[in-house]
């Protein structure tokens, strides 16, 4: 039997019900201060630029971070600082920090969270889930329809080989910047979204360039509790617009994330010996070289 999700009206922002038609008369563009052609001209957002692959020495680990090059503390001051600012401004649909959370006793050390807000207030899915790959549909909700106040900063490669931070940089619509925005229905403190080339309106389908962008963000974070993931349509992704989920899982580091290269070379032996068979999650191990292109 084919699985279907009931279609629902598009909700474009947290303020849609409050603003209505009066918003368009109060300001320029559509009145929502969104990221579409109606509101982009003249828009400015913070910009963080990172080193390109060719500027990162080949003998350094792929996830090694150079603190001396950072003009601002990427994780603590920029990402989490901006996230807390949006929380104080009431941009989230609920207070995720008030959710009851605990570590489940046992060998796996899983975390359990009672998040009623995400179940009751999360944006509903607007598409069928019978296909993993679907074309982008601009009529449905996508990230160009969010308010600019939900965007924390632009995140793109540097043009001069140095890391920079510009607190108030113009949004170049022609270059389609990648941005980091809040997830208005968060599952944890600091939950944000990395949206590659947002104005290109790419469907939820990972590619080489977007994967590299995600790696660069992990490098800039430089923190063992930093988690960056991708979920496709049919795997609980509710928006068909290319994005990655970003979380800070503190203070828990799951043992599966600490697997060494031996796990790759001896995968069959490990499974037969039941060393990881008890773990209730499938995993794919990837062995990287010392340079980003590897």
Across residues 63-76, what is the average pLDDT?
68
The verdict on pTM exceeding 0.85 is no
Residue 224 lies in a domain: yes
* Whether residues 22 and 106 fall in one domain: yes
Give the DSSP letter string of the chain.
-------------TTHHHHTTHHHHHSSTTSS--SSTTT-TT-EEEEEEE--GGGS-TTS-TT---GGG-SS-IIIIIIIHHHHHHHHTT-SSS-GGGSEEEEPSSSS--EEEE-HHHHHHSPPP-S-SS-S-----TTS--GGGS-GGGEEEEEEE-SSSS-EEEEEEE--GGG---EEEE-SS-SSTT-EEEETTGGG---S---HHHHHHHHHHHHHH--TTEEEE---BTTTB---S--EEEEE--S---GGGG--HHHHHTHHHHHHTTTTTTSSS--------SSTT-
Judge if 70 and 110 occupy the same domain. Answer: yes
Assess if residue 223 is contained within a domain: yes
What is the band of 83 on the pLDDT scale with cuts at 50, 70, 90? very high
How confident is the model over 120-138, as a mean pLDDT?
A: 80
Task: Enumerate the active-site residues.
Answer: 243
Count: domains in the chain: 2
Domain assignment present for residue 3? The answer is: no
Q: With respect to residue 107, please indicate whether it lies within any of the assigned structural domains.
A: yes
pLDDT value, residue 294: 56
Domain identity same for 77 and 48: yes
267 shares its domain with 148: no
The reply to whether 11 falls in a domain is: no
Asked whether residue 192 falls in the same domain as residue 84, the answer is yes
Domain boundary among 238, 253, 268: 253
| Domain region containing 22 | 16-253
Question: Are 129 and 248 members of one domain?
Answer: yes
């Amino acid at each position: 039997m084919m699985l279907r999700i009931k279609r629902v009206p598009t909700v474009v922002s947290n303020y849609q019900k409050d603003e209505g038609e009066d918003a368009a008369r109060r300001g320029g563009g559509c009145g929502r201060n969104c990221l579409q052609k109606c509101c982009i001209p003249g828009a400015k957002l913070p910009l963080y630029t990172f080193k390109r692959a060719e500027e990162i020495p080949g003998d350094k680990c792929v996830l090694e971070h150079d603190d001396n090059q950072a003009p601002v503390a990427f994780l603590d001051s920029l990402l989490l600082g901006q996230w807390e600012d949006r929380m104080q401004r009431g941009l989230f649909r609920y207070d995720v920090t008030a959710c009851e959370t605990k570590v489940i006793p046992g060998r796996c050390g899983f975390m359990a969270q009672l998040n009623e807000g995400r179940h009751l207030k999360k944006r509903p899915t607007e598409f069928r889930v019978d296909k993993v790959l679907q074309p982008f549909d601009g009529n449905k909700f996508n990230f160009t329809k969010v308010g600019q106040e939900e965007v924390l900063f632009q995140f793109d490669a540097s043009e001069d080989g140095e890391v920079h931070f510009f607190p108030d940089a113009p949004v170049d619509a022609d270059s389609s910047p990648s941005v980091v925005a809040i997830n208005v229905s968060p599952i944890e403190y600091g939950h944000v979204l990395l949206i590659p080339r947002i104005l290109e309106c790419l469907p939820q389908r990972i590619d080489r360039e977007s994967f590299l962008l995600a790696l660069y963000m992990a490098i800039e974070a430089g923190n063992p509790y930093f988690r960056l993931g991708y979920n496709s349509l049919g795997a609980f992704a509710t928006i068909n617009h290319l994005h990655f989920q970003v979380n800070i899982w503190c203070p828990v580091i799951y043992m599966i994330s600490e697997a060494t290269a031996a796990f790759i070379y001896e995968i069959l032996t490990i499974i037969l010996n039941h060393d990881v068979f008890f773990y209730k999650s499938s995993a794919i191990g990837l062995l990287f070289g010392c340079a980003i292109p590897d």
